[in-house]
Amino acid sequence: MSIQKLYTAQAEATGGRDGKVTTPDGAIDRQLSMPKSLGGEEKAGATNPEQLFAAGYAACFNSALNLVINNKKVKTGTTAVKAEVAIGKDADGFGLAVDIHAIIPEVSEEEAKALADAAHQVCPYSKATKGNIEVNISASNA
Protein backbone atom coordinates (compact mmCIF):
# COMPACT_ATOMS: atom_id res chain seq x y z
CA MET A 1 0.00 0.00 0.00
CA SER A 2 1.28 3.43 -0.88
CA ILE A 3 0.33 6.78 0.61
CA GLN A 4 0.82 10.33 -0.53
CA LYS A 5 3.03 11.64 2.26
CA LEU A 6 1.78 14.92 3.71
CA TYR A 7 4.00 15.07 6.80
CA THR A 8 6.90 13.01 8.12
CA ALA A 9 7.91 12.99 11.78
CA GLN A 10 11.41 12.08 12.87
CA ALA A 11 12.71 10.78 16.18
CA GLU A 12 15.91 9.15 17.33
CA ALA A 13 16.32 6.76 20.25
CA THR A 14 19.70 5.94 21.74
CA GLY A 15 20.56 3.54 24.54
CA GLY A 16 17.44 1.35 24.31
CA ARG A 17 14.87 1.38 27.10
CA ASP A 18 17.28 3.14 29.47
CA GLY A 19 18.46 5.71 26.95
CA LYS A 20 16.99 8.83 25.44
CA VAL A 21 14.53 9.82 22.71
CA THR A 22 14.74 13.11 20.81
CA THR A 23 13.28 14.86 17.79
CA PRO A 24 15.34 17.13 15.52
CA ASP A 25 13.19 20.16 16.41
CA GLY A 26 13.69 19.60 20.16
CA ALA A 27 9.96 19.14 20.85
CA ILE A 28 10.79 15.78 22.42
CA ASP A 29 13.96 15.36 24.46
CA ARG A 30 13.21 12.75 27.09
CA GLN A 31 15.10 10.21 29.12
CA LEU A 32 13.80 6.65 28.88
CA SER A 33 13.53 4.26 31.78
CA MET A 34 12.27 0.70 31.95
CA PRO A 35 9.23 0.22 34.24
CA LYS A 36 9.79 -1.71 37.47
CA SER A 37 7.31 -4.37 36.33
CA LEU A 38 9.70 -5.14 33.45
CA GLY A 39 12.72 -5.28 35.73
CA GLY A 40 13.84 -1.66 35.40
CA GLU A 41 14.48 1.21 37.78
CA GLU A 42 11.56 3.39 36.54
CA LYS A 43 13.42 6.67 37.01
CA ALA A 44 11.35 9.71 38.00
CA GLY A 45 10.65 12.07 35.11
CA ALA A 46 11.55 9.49 32.47
CA THR A 47 9.16 7.90 29.98
CA ASN A 48 9.03 4.63 28.05
CA PRO A 49 7.99 3.46 24.58
CA GLU A 50 4.57 2.32 25.78
CA GLN A 51 3.74 5.76 27.22
CA LEU A 52 4.87 7.44 24.02
CA PHE A 53 2.79 5.05 21.92
CA ALA A 54 -0.24 5.59 24.18
CA ALA A 55 0.11 9.38 23.87
CA GLY A 56 0.40 9.22 20.10
CA TYR A 57 -2.51 6.79 19.71
CA ALA A 58 -4.76 8.83 22.04
CA ALA A 59 -4.04 12.06 20.15
CA CYS A 60 -4.49 10.47 16.73
CA PHE A 61 -7.70 8.67 17.75
CA ASN A 62 -9.16 11.90 19.22
CA SER A 63 -8.40 13.68 15.95
CA ALA A 64 -10.10 10.89 13.98
CA LEU A 65 -13.04 11.00 16.39
CA ASN A 66 -13.51 14.72 15.85
CA LEU A 67 -13.28 14.23 12.07
CA VAL A 68 -16.09 11.67 12.28
CA ILE A 69 -18.15 13.94 14.55
CA ASN A 70 -17.72 16.89 12.17
CA ASN A 71 -18.49 14.81 9.08
CA LYS A 72 -21.66 13.46 10.70
CA LYS A 73 -22.55 16.97 11.93
CA VAL A 74 -23.09 15.74 15.49
CA LYS A 75 -23.16 18.28 18.33
CA THR A 76 -20.93 17.22 21.23
CA GLY A 77 -18.91 18.73 24.01
CA THR A 78 -15.11 18.56 24.06
CA THR A 79 -14.00 14.99 23.48
CA ALA A 80 -11.22 13.13 25.29
CA VAL A 81 -9.51 9.84 24.53
CA LYS A 82 -7.65 7.67 27.02
CA ALA A 83 -5.26 5.03 25.68
CA GLU A 84 -3.78 2.24 27.74
CA VAL A 85 -0.92 0.33 26.12
CA ALA A 86 0.11 -2.92 27.76
CA ILE A 87 3.24 -4.92 26.98
CA GLY A 88 3.40 -8.57 27.83
CA LYS A 89 4.58 -11.97 26.76
CA ASP A 90 3.12 -13.69 23.74
CA ALA A 91 4.00 -16.82 21.75
CA ASP A 92 6.92 -15.08 20.00
CA GLY A 93 8.37 -13.13 22.94
CA PHE A 94 6.59 -9.84 23.65
CA GLY A 95 3.51 -8.13 22.27
CA LEU A 96 1.26 -5.14 22.83
CA ALA A 97 -2.43 -4.69 23.61
CA VAL A 98 -4.34 -1.40 23.57
CA ASP A 99 -7.52 -0.24 25.26
CA ILE A 100 -8.99 2.98 23.85
CA HIS A 101 -11.75 4.79 25.72
CA ALA A 102 -13.44 7.75 24.05
CA ILE A 103 -15.38 10.25 26.15
CA ILE A 104 -17.95 12.11 24.06
CA PRO A 105 -20.17 14.48 26.07
CA GLU A 106 -23.68 15.52 25.06
CA VAL A 107 -24.56 12.35 23.13
CA SER A 108 -26.20 9.09 24.20
CA GLU A 109 -24.05 6.15 25.29
CA GLU A 110 -25.14 4.31 22.13
CA GLU A 111 -24.14 7.23 19.89
CA ALA A 112 -20.81 7.60 21.71
CA LYS A 113 -20.00 3.94 21.00
CA ALA A 114 -21.03 4.29 17.33
CA LEU A 115 -18.85 7.40 16.90
CA ALA A 116 -15.86 5.69 18.55
CA ASP A 117 -16.29 2.63 16.34
CA ALA A 118 -16.40 4.88 13.26
CA ALA A 119 -13.25 6.69 14.41
CA HIS A 120 -11.51 3.32 14.79
CA GLN A 121 -12.11 2.73 11.07
CA VAL A 122 -10.38 5.99 9.99
CA CYS A 123 -7.66 6.49 12.63
CA PRO A 124 -4.22 5.89 11.07
CA TYR A 125 -2.95 4.23 14.28
CA SER A 126 -5.96 1.90 14.28
CA LYS A 127 -5.33 1.04 10.64
CA ALA A 128 -1.64 0.39 11.35
CA THR A 129 -2.37 -1.94 14.26
CA LYS A 130 -5.31 -3.78 12.65
CA GLY A 131 -4.64 -7.49 12.71
CA ASN A 132 -1.31 -6.96 14.47
CA ILE A 133 -2.26 -6.28 18.09
CA GLU A 134 -5.38 -6.51 20.20
CA VAL A 135 -7.20 -3.16 20.29
CA ASN A 136 -10.37 -2.74 22.36
CA ILE A 137 -12.59 0.31 21.83
CA SER A 138 -15.05 1.64 24.40
CA ALA A 139 -16.90 4.91 24.77
CA SER A 140 -19.06 6.87 27.16
CA ASN A 141 -20.69 10.27 27.33
CA ALA A 142 -19.07 11.20 30.64
Domains, the chain, with CATH or none: 1-47 (2.20.25.10), 49-140 (3.30.300.20)
Residue 111 pLDDT grade (very low, low, confident, very high; cuts 50, 70, 90): very high
Residue 1 has pLDDT above 80, yes or no: no
Residue 2 pLDDT grade (very low, low, confident, very high; cuts 50, 70, 90): confident
Residue 4 has pLDDT above 90, yes or no: yes
Alpha-carbon gap, residue 48 to 41, rounded angstroms: 12
Residue 12 pLDDT grade (very low, low, confident, very high; cuts 50, 70, 90): very high
Give the pLDDT of residue 65. Answer: 98
Contact between 126 and 67 under an 8 Å Cβ cutoff? The reply is no
Give the pLDDT of residue 44. Answer: 94
Residue 95 DSSP SS3: strand
Beta bridge partners of 102: 81, 139
